[in-house]
């Protein structure tokens, strides 16, 4: 319990999935929690559960793609809490489909919710961390930020940007003794498919969202596993936290032979094995 005990932790997108699991694990570690989600009822339900442990929990409804809402949250948080010790930037959305069917609105929705949301939060809280030369940041990206996945071009674009941001920031912030890690989960059994967007169908035009959701439920790892790996990675100051490790195989293949990975990914898509 020692490492996070008494620390003030913000977790964005804490209403479900990995964000919820991070909150549960942080609570077990004795942290003080400020939880945000676009769906307030989800965090309120969670806070009732966590409140039984005796830890301090406060919930905020925030659409992290909206700068005005994020700025209002930041001002309110600093008034009520004073400072943040650990910033878990977990909010995000899932999106997939054939690139020829993607519209500008799909690109904007993806970038706003997966990239700009992190930029907004860093803009608010990073200056104070730098001035005090303390703090820790966890950015939730994705395994899709390490390898390009056909059918997920919009999603991978946003997540690759987060991994690149994290890599550069980690080096830059080391000067100020601020630790930064990027979490890259694989296939996880969360609500990312149900709450996300899929603008594609199979070759016969059949909607595949239910099929993908069923796949994630059947084969996805539990969010609690990812959360435990994330907290362990934070304690060890690990740069890239990939979880679960069995999902590292495509990333390892890409690192060994990028061209072979590209061939396999293209073959899978051409054969329509993913749809």
Which positions are catalytic?
Answer: 155
Say how far apart CA 13 and CA 22 lie, in whole Å.
10
Place of tokens 């990914």: 265
Torsion 35-36-37-43 (CA) sign: positive
Place of tokens 């989960």: 185
Q: DSSP letter string over 95-129?
A: EE--GGG--HHHHHHHHIIIIIHHHHHHHHHHHHH
Residue 14 · residue 90 · CB < 8 Å: yes
Torsion 83-85-87-88 (CA) sign: negative
């Amino acid at each position: 319990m020692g490492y996070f005990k008494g620390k003030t932790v913000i977790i964005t997108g804490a209403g479900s999935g990995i964000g919820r699991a991070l909150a549960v694990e942080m609570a077990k570690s004795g942290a003080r929690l400020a939880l945000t989600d676009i769906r307030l009822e989800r965090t309120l339900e969670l806070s009732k559960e966590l409140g039984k442990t005796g830890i301090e929990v406060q919930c905020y409804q925030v659409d992290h793609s909206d700068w005005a809402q994020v700025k209002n949250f930041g001002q309110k948080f600093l008034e009520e809490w004073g400072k943040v010790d650990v910033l878990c930037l977990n909010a995000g959305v899932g999106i997939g489909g054939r690139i020829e069917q993607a519209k500008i609105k799909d690109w904007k929705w993806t970038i706003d919710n997966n990239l700009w949301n992190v930029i907004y939060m860093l803009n608010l809280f990073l200056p104070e961390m730098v001035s005090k030369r303390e703090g820790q940041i966890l950015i939730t990206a994705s395994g899709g930020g390490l390898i390009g996945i056909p059918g997920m071009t919009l999603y991978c674009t946003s997540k690759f940007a987060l991994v690149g941001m994290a890599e550069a920031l980690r080096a830059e912030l080391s000067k100020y003794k601020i630790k930064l890690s990027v979490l890259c989960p694989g296939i996880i059994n969360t609500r990312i498919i149900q709450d996300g967007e899929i603008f594609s169908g199979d070759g016969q035009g059949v909607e595949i969202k239910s099929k993908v959701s069923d796949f994630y439920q059947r084969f996805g790892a539990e969010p609690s596993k990812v959360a435990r790996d994330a907290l362990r990675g934070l304690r060890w100051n690990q740069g890239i936290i990939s979880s679960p490790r069995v999902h590292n195989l495509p990333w390892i293949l890409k690192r060994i032979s990028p061209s072979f990975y590209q061939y396999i990914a293209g073959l899978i898509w051409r054969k329509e094995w993913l749809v």
